[in-house]
Every structure is written in structure tokens, then in C-alpha cells.
């Protein structure tokens, strides 16, 4: 049976990090970071500089995500499923929703997920989750909140499986996901 590449997409606070970790543990998949470690220092520059143009940031993230695809391919070729917190769709939706007007053309051999789950939740719950988590908020995080509707519209351009996490505990979301993955297999 072919290994599966599973990606989560969605706005900040919908549960991508929590759910991706739990799902990877539950199904014994490799949890691969979206941005390779070798891009870490440069990522900090792009994430913490208010002077960075949206187009420069977009190009950096595209390059980093595409490079990260190599790590995903390694795990898949070893016969293991892969889960990522977010991937290419988030990179594109985020930057287009923030105003990037770059025309991009992805290589025909770009690695795409086998299954993409777009996690959503009611806005009040999403904001509650954002407040209680321990994540440093950057200039770009604040701008993303101001442009959340535009980012969601950009997400609408992609075919994804939508899952509302609003009234579900993380373990319940994972059980639903496993059911959906089993349905897709059968």
C-alpha cells in the first residue's frame, strides 16, 4: 500500500499544530516540518521584519516549502505516511490574501499532498484558542488577522476536505480524520 502525504491547512487557531501532532502519533506517521531547519535563521528575518515586502516573503516561503518537499519524499519513500501542519496551499493563500500579486508557476513535478484537510472553526472559538496558546505573535500574524477573510477566500481556490473543529476535542477531531482517511482508502 502506498504511503500517504496528509496536509492540514487553515487560519491561525483552528488546530493545525495540535491535530497534526496527534494524528501523526495515532497513525504512526512521520511529522515533517513545513519549513526545513536550514531555513530557520532566514525565516526569523522574514517573520520578524515589518519592512519585508509581501512578495519577497512569498518567494522565500515558496522556496522553503518546495525544498521541504524533499524531506517529505524521503519519509514517503521509506514506506511511512507523512503529516504536515501546513504546506503549499497555506503559503499561497496566506500571501495572496495579504496582497501579493505575483504570478507563480509551480513545477509540474511539485510534490502535492494525497489528502488535504482544511480545518475551520467559529470565529469566537478561533480567537479564544489564539489567546490561550503560547505562541509569540509577529507583525505578520497581526496582519493576517486583519486579512483573515481575504485569506479564506484564497483558500477557496483549492480542493480540500473541510472539517469544523469548533465543538470537538482534539482527540475527537483525530478520530473523525481517521474515519475519513479509512473511507477514502476503501
What are the tens digits of pLDDT across the range 62-107? 999 999 999 999 999 999 999 999 999 999 999 999 999 999 988 8
Q: What is the pLDDT of residue 137?
A: 86
Q: What is the pLDDT of residue 99?
A: 95
Q: Cell 515558496 belongs to which residue?
A: 62
Confidence of residue 186 (pLDDT cuts 50, 70, 90): low
Q: What is the pLDDT of residue 92?
A: 97
Q: What is the pLDDT of residue 1?
A: 58
Mean per-residue pLDDT, 106-112 = 92
Amino acid at each position: 500500500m502506498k504511503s500517504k502525504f496528509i496536509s492540514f491547512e487553515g487560519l491561525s487557531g483552528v488546530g493545525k499544530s495540535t491535530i497534526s501532532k496527534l494524528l501523526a502519533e495515532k497513525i504512526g506517521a512521520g511529522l515533517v516540518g513545513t519549513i526545513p531547519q536550514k531555513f530557520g535563521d532566514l525565516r526569523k528575518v522574514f517573520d520578524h521584519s515589518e519592512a519585508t515586502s509581501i512578495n519577497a516573503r512569498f518567494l522565500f516561503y515558496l522556496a522553503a516549502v518546495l525544498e521541504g518537499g524533499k524531506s517529505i519524499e524521503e519519509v514517503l519513500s521509506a514506506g511511512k505516511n507523512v503529516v504536515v501542519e501546513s504546506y503549499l496551499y497555506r503559503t499561497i493563500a496566506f500571501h495572496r490574501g495579504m496582497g501579493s500579486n505575483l504570478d507563480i508557476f509551480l513545477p509540474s513535478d511539485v510534490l502535492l499532498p494525497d489528502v488535504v484537510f482544511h480545518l475551520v472553526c467559529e470565529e469566537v472559538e478561533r480567537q479564544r484558542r489564539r489567546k490561550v496558546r503560547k505562541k509569540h505573535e509577529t507583525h505578520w500574524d497581526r496582519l493576517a488577522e486583519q486579512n483573515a477573510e481575504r485569506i479564506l477566500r484564497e483558500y477557496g481556490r483549492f480542493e480540500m476536505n473541510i472539517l469544523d473543529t469548533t465543538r470537538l476535542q482534539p482527540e475527537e477531531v483525530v478520530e473523525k480524520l481517521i474515519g475519513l482517511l479509512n473511507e477514502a482508502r476503501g
